[in-house]
Structure 1
Amino acid sequence: MQTNLFNIVLLSFLLSLGCSSVYSQDLKKKPSAIPAQKQVDKPIVSPINETKTLKKVGDTIIKKDSLKSNKNILEGKVVYKADQYSRIDQKKKHITLYDKAELYYKDIELKAGIIILDYEKNEVYAGRIKDSTGKLTQYPNFKQGSNVIEPDSIRFNFKTKKALIWNSRTDQGEFKVKAQVTKKENDSVYFLKNARFTTSTNVDNPEYYFQTSKVKFIPGKKVITGLTHMVIANVPTPIAMPFAYFPMSKETSVSGILLPSYNDSNTRGFSLQNGGYYFALSDQYDLTVMGDYYTNGSYGMRFESAYAKRYNYRGNVNIRYENLISSERGFPDYSKQKIYNIQWSHSRDSKANPNSSFSASVNLGSSKYFTQSINQANVGSTLNNTLSSSVSYSKTFNSVPEVRMSLSATHSQNTQTQVIDMTLPTLQLSVDRIYPFAGKDEVKKGFIKNINFQYNLNGRNSVTTTDSLFFKPQMFRDAKIGAQHTIPISTNFKLFKYFSATTTANYEEVWYLQTLKRFYDTDKSAVVEETINGFDAFRTYSFSSSLGTTIYGTFNFGDDKRIKSIRHVMRPSLSYSYTPSFEKYYDTYASDASGKMAQYTRFENGIYGSPGLTNASNVGISISNTFEAKVTDSDSTKVEAKKIMLLNNLNVSTSYDLNADGKTTLAWAPVRVSGGTQLFKDKLNMNFATTLDPYAIDNSGTRINTFNVNNGGSLFRMTSANMTLNYAISSKEKDKKDKNSQTTRNGGREDDLFGTNNGFGNNQPSQFDGSEEEGDDKISEFFTSNLPWDMTFAYALTYGNSNREKTITGNSVMISANTDLTPKWKVGMSTGYDFVQKGVTYTQLRFERDLASWRMSFNWTPFGTNANWNFFIGIKSGVLSDVKWNKNSAVRR
Structure 2
Amino acid sequence: MHQAIFYTKIGFKALQANNPYILLMLILLLCPLFLQSQELPVRQPLNIEAEQDSTRIPVAEILPDLGIQDSVVQDSIPRDSIGKDSVPEKKNFLEDQIKYKAKDYQKTIRSENKIYLYNEAEVYYQDTELKAGVIVIDYEKKEVYAGRIRDSTGTLTQAPYFKQGSNVVEPDSIRYNFDTQRALIWNSRSEQTVGGEMNVFAEITKKENDSVYFLHEGKLTTSKNLDDPEYYIRVRKAKFVPKKKVIAGFSNMYIADVPTPIAVPFAYFPMSEKSSESGLIFPTFGEVNGRGYFLQNGGYYFAINDYVDLAVLGDYYTNGSYGFRTESNYAVRYRFRGNFNFRFENLVQGQKGFPDYSRGTTYNIQWSHSQDAKASPNSRFSASVNLGSSRYYKDSYNQINTGNFMQNTLTSSVSYSKTFPGYPAVNMSLTASHSQNTNTETISMTLPTLQASVERIYPFAPKSGIKKGIFQNINFQYSLRAENSFQTTDSLFFKKEMFEDAKTGFRHSIPISTNFKIMKYLSASLNVNYDETWQLKTIRRHDYDPELETVPTDTINGFDRFAQYSFGASLGTTLYGTVMFDEENKIQAVRHVMRPSVSYGYTPGFDQYYEEYIANEEGEVREYTRFEGGLYGAPGRSMSNSVSFSLQNNFEAKVRDKDTTATEPKKITLLNLNLNTSYNAVADSLPWQPLRFTGNIPFFDGKMTVNFGGTLDPYALDNAGRKIDKWNIDNGGSLFRFTNANVTTSYTISSKTFEGSSVDRDNDNTASGGREDDLFGSSMDYSDGRMFPDDDEEEEEEEETKYYGAALPWDLRLAYSMTYSNAARQNEISNNSLMFSGNVELTPKWRVGVSSGYDFKNRGFSFTQLRFERDLESWRMNFSWTPFGNRTSWYFFIGIKSSMLSDIKWEKRREPDRALNR
* SS of corresponding position for 1:520: coil
Measured after TM superposition, the shift of residue 885 of structure 1 is 0.9
Matched, 1:382 2:405: yes
Specify which of 158, 173, 176 is matched with residue 138 of structure 1. Answer: 158
Q: Give identity over the alignment, percent.
A: 55
8 Å CA contact 1:370, 1:376 repeated in 2: no
| C-alpha distance in structure 1 between counterparts of 2:186 and 2:414, whole Å | 61
| C-alpha distance in structure 1 between counterparts of 2:131 and 2:876, whole Å | 37
Q: Which residue of the partner structure matches residue 712 of structure 2?
A: 692
| C-alpha distance in structure 2 between counterparts of 1:515 and 1:291, whole Å | 49
Matched, 1:525 2:545: no
The C-alpha deviation readout for 1:94-118, integer Å capped at 9, x for no partner, is 3322211111112111111112234
Q: Which residue of the partner structure matches residue 757 of structure 1?
A: 779
8 Å CA contact 2:366, 2:769 repeated in 1: no
Q: Which residue of the partner structure matches residue 632 of structure 1?
A: 656
| C-alpha distance in structure 2 between counterparts of 1:638 and 1:447, whole Å | 45
Specify which of 823, 838, 842 is matched with residue 802 of structure 1. Answer: 823
Q: Are the structure 2 counterparts of residues 363 and 496 from structure 1 closer, same or farther at C-alpha, using a change threshold of 3 Å? A: same
8 Å CA contact 1:811, 1:835 repeated in 2: yes
| C-alpha distance in structure 2 between counterparts of 1:413 and 1:245, whole Å | 47
Q: How does 1:254-273 map to 2 (within 5 A)?
A: 254-273=277-296
| C-alpha distance in structure 1 between counterparts of 2:360 and 2:322, whole Å | 11
* SS of corresponding position for 2:730: helix
Specify which of 408, 422, 428 is matched with residue 405 of structure 1. Answer: 428
Q: Are the structure 2 counterparts of residues 775 and 792 from structure 1 closer, same or farther at C-alpha, using a change threshold of 3 Å? A: same
State the one-letter code of the partner of 2:543.
Answer: Y
Q: How does 1:385-784 map to 2 (within 5 A)?
A: 385-522=408-545, 523-636=547-660, 638=662, 640-647=664-671, 649-662=672-685, 666-733=686-753, 741-743=764-766, 746=769, 748=771, 750-757=772-779, 759=781, 761-762=783-784, 779=801, 783-784=804-805
Q: Are the structure 2 counterparts of residues 643 and 74 from structure 1 closer, same or farther at C-alpha, using a change threshold of 3 Å? A: same
Structure 1 unaligned regions, length at least 5: 1-35, 61-66
Matched, 1:124 2:144: yes
Matched, 1:861 2:882: yes
8 Å CA contact 2:127, 2:164 repeated in 1: yes
Bigger Cα displacement from structure 2, 578-587 vs 760-769:
760-769
* SS of corresponding position for 1:448: helix
Measured after TM superposition, the shift of residue 43 of structure 1 is 5.3
8 Å CA contact 2:401, 2:768 repeated in 1: no
Measured after TM superposition, the shift of residue 332 of structure 1 is 1.9
State the one-letter code of the partner of 1:714.
Answer: S
* SS of corresponding position for 1:874: strand
| C-alpha distance in structure 2 between counterparts of 1:568 and 1:118, whole Å | 92
| C-alpha distance in structure 2 between counterparts of 1:211 and 1:380, whole Å | 40
Matched, 1:226 2:246: no
| C-alpha distance in structure 1 between counterparts of 2:524 and 2:392, whole Å | 52
* SS of corresponding position for 1:878: coil
Bigger Cα displacement from structure 2, 510-519 vs 753-762:
753-762
| C-alpha distance in structure 1 between counterparts of 2:234 and 2:790, whole Å | 29
8 Å CA contact 2:380, 2:417 repeated in 1: yes
Bigger Cα displacement from structure 2, 212-221 vs 80-89:
80-89
8 Å CA contact 1:377, 1:891 repeated in 2: no
Q: Are the structure 2 counterparts of residues 463 and 553 from structure 1 closer, same or farther at C-alpha, using a change threshold of 3 Å? A: same
Specify which of 294, 306, 324 is matched with residue 329 of structure 2. Answer: 306
Which one has a bigger Cα radius of gyration? 1
| C-alpha distance in structure 1 between counterparts of 2:846 and 2:622, whole Å | 74
Matched, 1:876 2:865: no
* SS of corresponding position for 1:799: strand
State the one-letter code of the partner of 1:575.
Answer: S
Q: Which residue of the partner structure matches residue 890 of structure 1?
A: 911
Measured after TM superposition, the shift of residue 497 of structure 1 is 1.1
Bigger Cα displacement from structure 2, 482-491 vs 592-601:
592-601
Bigger Cα displacement from structure 2, 883-892 vs 86-95:
86-95
Q: How does 1:306-345 map to 2 (within 5 A)?
A: 306-345=329-368
8 Å CA contact 1:767, 1:848 repeated in 2: no
* SS of corresponding position for 2:543: strand
* SS of corresponding position for 1:408: strand
Q: Are the structure 2 counterparts of residues 769 and 468 from structure 1 closer, same or farther at C-alpha, using a change threshold of 3 Å? A: farther
Measured after TM superposition, the shift of residue 633 of structure 1 is 3.3
Q: Are the structure 2 counterparts of residues 374 and 744 from structure 1 closer, same or farther at C-alpha, using a change threshold of 3 Å? A: closer
State the one-letter code of the partner of 1:280.
Answer: A
State the one-letter code of the partner of 2:616.
Answer: D
Specify which of 843, 848, 852 is matched with residue 864 of structure 2. Answer: 843
Measured after TM superposition, the shift of residue 254 of structure 1 is 0.6
| C-alpha distance in structure 2 between counterparts of 1:768 and 1:672, whole Å | 53
State the one-letter code of the partner of 1:561.
Answer: N
| C-alpha distance in structure 2 between counterparts of 1:689 and 1:714, whole Å | 20
| C-alpha distance in structure 2 between counterparts of 1:59 and 1:867, whole Å | 82
Matched, 1:217 2:223: no
Q: Are the structure 2 counterparts of residues 59 and 495 from structure 1 closer, same or farther at C-alpha, using a change threshold of 3 Å? A: closer
8 Å CA contact 1:775, 1:852 repeated in 2: no
8 Å CA contact 1:757, 1:765 repeated in 2: no
Q: Are the structure 2 counterparts of residues 455 and 320 from structure 1 closer, same or farther at C-alpha, using a change threshold of 3 Å? A: same
Bigger Cα displacement from structure 2, 383-392 vs 784-793:
784-793
Calculate the TM-score normalised by the size of structure 2.
0.88
Measured after TM superposition, the shift of residue 738 of structure 1 is 7.6
Q: Are the structure 2 counterparts of residues 775 and 684 from structure 1 closer, same or farther at C-alpha, using a change threshold of 3 Å? A: closer
Measured after TM superposition, the shift of residue 758 of structure 1 is 5.1
8 Å CA contact 1:651, 1:674 repeated in 2: yes
Q: Are the structure 2 counterparts of residues 740 and 458 from structure 1 closer, same or farther at C-alpha, using a change threshold of 3 Å? A: farther
Q: Which residue of the partner structure matches residue 57 of structure 1?
A: 46
Q: Are the structure 2 counterparts of residues 531 and 393 from structure 1 closer, same or farther at C-alpha, using a change threshold of 3 Å? A: same
The C-alpha deviation readout for 1:258-298, integer Å capped at 9, x for no partner, is 11111101211001111111000000000001111110011
| C-alpha distance in structure 2 between counterparts of 1:761 and 1:253, whole Å | 18
Measured after TM superposition, the shift of residue 80 of structure 1 is 1.4
* SS of corresponding position for 1:822: coil
| C-alpha distance in structure 1 between counterparts of 2:879 and 2:124, whole Å | 52
Matched, 1:94 2:114: yes
State the one-letter code of the partner of 1:83.
Answer: K
Q: Are the structure 2 counterparts of residues 704 and 218 from structure 1 closer, same or farther at C-alpha, using a change threshold of 3 Å? A: same
C-alpha RMSD of matched pairs (Å): 2.6
| C-alpha distance in structure 2 between counterparts of 1:857 and 1:74, whole Å | 59
State the one-letter code of the partner of 1:751.
Answer: D
8 Å CA contact 1:846, 1:858 repeated in 2: yes
Specify which of 191, 205, 228 is matched with residue 205 of structure 1. Answer: 228
Calculate the TM-score normalised by the size of structure 1.
0.90
Q: Are the structure 2 counterparts of residues 573 and 590 from structure 1 closer, same or farther at C-alpha, using a change threshold of 3 Å? A: same
Measured after TM superposition, the shift of residue 183 of structure 1 is 1.7
State the one-letter code of the partner of 2:773.
Answer: D
Measured after TM superposition, the shift of residue 71 of structure 1 is 6.0
| C-alpha distance in structure 2 between counterparts of 1:739 and 1:147, whole Å | 35
Matched, 1:44 2:33: no
